[in-house]
């Protein structure tokens, strides 16, 4: 079994596309870091305190303008209070820290999920398209072991991609924003107007949840590729469901109560209202996808493709 897994692992990383996707993962982390830094510099200018003071003056002019609506005056008043608090607490409202960057960069996990959809679909569909599936069948291994080795290789590849993303974000974050494990930031959504952010369990939990989310869509693509033997169909359907799941879920849940049990409503553990429920539904979907893949693969006549 281990020899099969090793063989599948080597197949995945021998493909030029896998290396390209790993490089793109690093480039994405670098790109988000640079955009965050440049946005911060643009908003704050050379002196953030002077920028905040100028904003306060502009808002005070708005309050004294009789032609301005009540809603605009209320917004200006709130903005003055916010900026004054920033000055009093000596907290740069435009500042950006390593913990902030790491917490906000977790959305790149979805980027990795897209790559894993392609890899998972290609892992099985390429065997059919190149005819190498017949060579696998003549080896002294049960079909379920062959399929299982591919799944294990996909899982290990997912861990590699997530590790590369995590390491890239840490390194880029330290280079661009300095090394701080925690920082006080300005946040009017909190009661005090300030908030403590840190490299804490929530950040690492997002990556742990990300493993399950990635496996969900990767196994879906893998199952579709096994059933249809077509890379394009598997990748196309999987990516479509990933990108449109929120819209479809919103529509279905507005019509039917049972829609909360569907795939569209449970594509991600990150931000889920009920993590336990979403996790259970995801496991059920994964089991269904795997059953379909194993059943079709065990019954398929390989000699005829």
Per residue in 115-172, pLDDT (tens digit) is 988 888 888 777 666 666 666 666 666 777 888 888 889 899 999 999 999 999 999 9
Q: Look at residue 46 and tell me whether its pLDDT is greater than 90.
A: no
Q: What are φ and ψ of residue 262, in 5° steps?
A: -80, 165
Q: What pLDDT, on the 0 to 100 scale, is given for residue 96?
A: 74
Residue 29 makes CB contacts below 8 A (sequence gap 6+) with 105, 108, 165, 168, 169, 172
Name the percent of the chain lying above pLDDT 70: 81
> Each residue of 274-283: pLDDT tens digit?
778 888 888 8
91-95-100 Cα angle (round to 5): 110
Q: Model's pTM, two decimal places?
A: 0.78
What is the mean pLDDT of the segment spanning 177-195? Answer: 66
Nearest to 158 by CA among 125, 100, 114: 114
Handedness of CA 267, 269, 275, 276 (dihedral sign): positive
185: left (phi over 0), alpha (psi -120 to 50) or beta: beta
Span of 99-113, 153-167, 290-304 with lowest mean pLDDT: 290-304
Q: Which pLDDT band, with edges at 50, 70 and 90, does 196 fall under?
A: low
pLDDT at 27: 95
Q: Which token pair is 236?
A: 């196309």
Q: Single out the residue of 147, 120, 122 nearest to residue 136, CA to CA.
A: 147
> Is residue 188 over pLDDT 60?
no
For position 25, what pLDDT does the model report? 93
pLDDT over 80 (residue 246): no
> In the prediction, which pLDDT does 206 show?
81
Mean per-residue pLDDT over the chain, rounded: 79
């Amino acid at each position: 079994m281990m020899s099969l897994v090793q063989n599948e692992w080597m197949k995945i990383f021998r493909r030029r596309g896998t290396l390209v996707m790993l490089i793109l993962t690093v480039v994405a982390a670098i790109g988000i870091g640079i955009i965050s830094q440049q946005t911060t510099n643009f908003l704050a200018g050379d002196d953030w305190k002077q920028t905040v003071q100028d904003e306060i003056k502009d808002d005070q002019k708005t309050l004294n303008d009789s032609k301005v609506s009540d809603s605009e005056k209320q917004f200006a008043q709130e903005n003055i209070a916010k900026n004054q608090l920033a000055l009093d607490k000596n907290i740069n409202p435009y500042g950006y820290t390593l913990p902030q960057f790491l917490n906000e960069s977790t959305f790149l996990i979805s980027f990795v999920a897209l790559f894993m959809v392609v890899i998972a679909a290609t892992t099985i569909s390429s065997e059919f398209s190149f005819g190498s599936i017949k060579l696998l069948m003549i080896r002294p291994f049960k079909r379920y072991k062959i399929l299982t080795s591919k799944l294990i290789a996909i899982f290990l590849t997912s861990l590699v991609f997530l590790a590369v993303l995590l390491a890239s974000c840490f390194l880029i974050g330290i280079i661009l924003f300095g090394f701080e494990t925690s920082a006080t930031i300005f946040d009017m959504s909190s009661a005090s107007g300030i908030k403590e952010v840190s490299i804490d369990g929530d950040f690492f939990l997002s990556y742990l949840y990300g493993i399950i989310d990635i496996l969900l869509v990767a196994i879906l693509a893998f199952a579709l590729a096994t059933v249809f033997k077509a890379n394009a169909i598997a990748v196309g359907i999987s990516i479509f469901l990933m990108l449109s799941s929120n819209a479809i879920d919103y529509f279905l849940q507005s019509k039917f109560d049972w829609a909360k049990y569907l795939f569209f409503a449970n594509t991600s553990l990150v931000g889920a209202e009920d993590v336990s429920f979403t996790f259970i539904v995801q496991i059920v979907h994964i089991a269904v996808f795997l059953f379909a893949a194993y059943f079709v693969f065990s019954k398929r006549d390989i000699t005829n493709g």
